[in-house]
Structure 1
Amino acid sequence: MTTATIAYVQWPDNLLAHGPEWDAIRRSVDAARADILVTNEMPFGPWAAQHPAFDAAAAARSVELHEKALAALGDLGAGAVISSRPVAFDGRLANEAFVLEAGRYRCLHHKQYFPQEAGFFEEAWYAGGTPGFECMQIGAVKVGVLLCTELFFNEHARHYGRQGADVIVTPRASGTSLHRWTTAGAMAAIVSGACFVSSNRRGVAALGQTFGGYGFAMSSDGQLTGHTSDEAPLVIATIDLERSREDKRLYPCYVKELPAP
């Protein structure tokens, strides 16, 4: 059996890549020795989109903070790190999914779907940037990334499955309601035949937005295999790569979409 280990987490709101809080995170990641670490969405500093209007100075601070944190992420004791960060784009920001592996930075794609509501005014802050939704080979694992709200657009999970994804990962920054996220994660696994892993932010932002934590993992048939908690902020999912590849031949993954008449 060929396996890979994926670490998923709930990291605290307004995290900095230094100090006692970061030192505890670093120790836990180093001890896990995972093949891949999946962080929550844009993990460092304040959650900019809690504010309803775009602020260029605040955006620049967030970009700088995440840029400086890349070195600390790269020093963590995981084979690769999948995360996201804000980058300047078209007078606003883009939310860039990326992987750090063996000192190399690779952009995966820019987030394409944005909420616009209290606590999550992302449409005001972010532009679509560079689309993608293409699998990336990371070590022995073929990975597809859906950033937070992208998870609810199930056609992309199906697309990743047809590309042969072993695992779909979702860095997110979501609230305390869980049923939609776990349902969407299960469906992403079922329609792709890939395992699924998600990490989330945890805590209360300055304007009162509460992030619910609860990173979780699903098997390739959509069964919950584990989740994080305040007592266990990092959990390991062991992915059976052979089973994931076999599951793509099962229902409903093999079903083809007929061309339009």
Structure 2
Amino acid sequence: MPVCAYVEMMDGLQPHGAAWDQVAQALANRRPDILVMNEMPFGQWLARKENFAMVDARQSVEIHEAGIAALAALNIPAVITSRPTLLAERLVNEAIVIENGQIRPLHTKTYLPQEPGWSEVSWFSRGDGHFNIQNICGLGVGVLLCTELMFNEHARQYGRRGADLIAVPRATGSARESWITAGKMASIASGSYVVSSNRIGQSGDGPMFGGGGFAIAPGGDLVGQTQTGSAIMLIDIDPQVSARQRQEYPCYVDELHDAVGLEVP
């Protein structure tokens, strides 16, 4: 069965130098099949600033291009993360998977916060609202980018479409428990494994990121968290376990439009 790694990566991560070499070596030692990275993992967090600036946007795009090359060089079969992409003088936050050195777009972030430290509406255009299952390493995989985890209807629909794994790249603050609760609910609603990674550390003049990557088994049990000294963790993803859980309550309960004898206006 595929082994999935989840992490907490330092804010301002660079895709080169001694710190990156340590990350690359640690991942090489663990040899995961899938790596879930945090959301837009390289360089400074753009949304710490309230107003869009093209020079900063271009710098973030450039460092993520270098970062994706560095991730591809790790020779991990699949790396799930996100990147900023310029689109019509704005950015989108695009979830991607890197497979055998090739980049495959998954979807663009749809739910965007706007508050101090996370002024994402100022920087990014919203995605199209498409949340599709992808085949990654033989698993059905859905991706929820950070705030999207808080909208449980998408986790449920991923489960109904056969998701074994929901990957959640994040860039969140110190309130770990609310994110773990959201991850547990996503797993309960979908029957899927939920695996999330996060930034950690102070973002210059921006927010303090809380780390706390986590893994939740189908049905909602928290089975692991990253922490100081354990920044990379592993979990086996057993598709038979998720398939069984999708037949259990509440996953099997019909949607309104599936229910026999009910009229839907």
TM-score bucket of the superposed structures, by smaller chain: over 0.9
Choose which of 138, 141, 161 in structure 1 pairs with 2:139.
141
**Structure 2 CA distance, aligned partners of 1:104 and 1:152?**
30
Residue type of the partner of 2:227?
S
Q: CA deviation at 1:50?
A: 0.2
Match of residue 52 from structure 2 = 54
Contact residue 92 and residue 126 of structure 1 kept, 8 A: yes
Deviations 1:13-49 (A, max 9, x none): 0000000000000001111111100000000000010
Contact residue 89 and residue 129 of structure 1 kept, 8 A: no
Match of residue 28 from structure 2 = 30
Choose which of 233, 236, 241 in structure 2 pairs with 1:235.
233
Match of residue 121 from structure 1 = 119
1:219 equivalent to 2:227? Answer no
Match of residue 90 from structure 2 = 92
Contact residue 39 and residue 169 of structure 2 kept, 8 A: yes
1:185 equivalent to 2:183? Answer yes
- Return structure 1 stretches of 4+ with deviation > 6 angstroms: none
Percent identity over the alignment is 48
**Structure 2 CA distance, aligned partners of 1:57 and 1:223?**
43
**Structure 2 CA distance, aligned partners of 1:82 and 1:208?**
25
State the Cα RMSD in Å. Answer: 1.0
Residue type of the partner of 1:89?
L
Matched position secondary structure for 1:150: helix
**Structure 2 CA distance, aligned partners of 1:157 and 1:248?**
12
Residue type of the partner of 1:206?
G
Q: CA deviation at 1:130?
A: 4.2
Residue type of the partner of 2:33?
D
Match of residue 107 from structure 1 = 105
Q: CA deviation at 1:93?
A: 0.4
Contact residue 4 and residue 239 of structure 1 kept, 8 A: yes
Matched position secondary structure for 1:211: strand
Choose which of 185, 197, 200 in structure 1 pairs with 2:198.
200
Matched position secondary structure for 2:12: coil
Residue type of the partner of 2:24?
R
**Structure 2 CA distance, aligned partners of 1:118 and 1:97?**
23
Match of residue 18 from structure 1 = 16
Aligned runs of 1:250-261 on 2, under 5 Å? Answer: 250-259=248-257, 260-261=264-265
**Structure 1 CA distance, aligned partners of 2:37 and 2:135?**
18
Which consecutive unaligned segments of at least 5 residues does structure 2 have? 258-263
Match of residue 260 from structure 2 = none
Contact residue 2 and residue 137 of structure 2 kept, 8 A: no
Match of residue 246 from structure 1 = 244
**Structure 2 CA distance, aligned partners of 1:77 and 1:104?**
11
Match of residue 68 from structure 1 = 66
**Structure 2 CA distance, aligned partners of 1:256 and 1:90?**
41
Matched position secondary structure for 1:134: coil
Matched position secondary structure for 2:185: helix
1:4 equivalent to 2:2? Answer yes
Match of residue 81 from structure 1 = 79
Matched position secondary structure for 2:154: helix
**Structure 2 CA distance, aligned partners of 1:225 and 1:168?**
15
TM-score by length of 2: 0.96
TM-score by length of 1: 0.97
Query: Paired residues, what number?
Result: 259
Residues 208 and 53 of structure 1: is their aligned pair in 2 closer, same or farther, counting only changes over 3 Å? Answer: closer
Contact residue 90 and residue 127 of structure 1 kept, 8 A: no
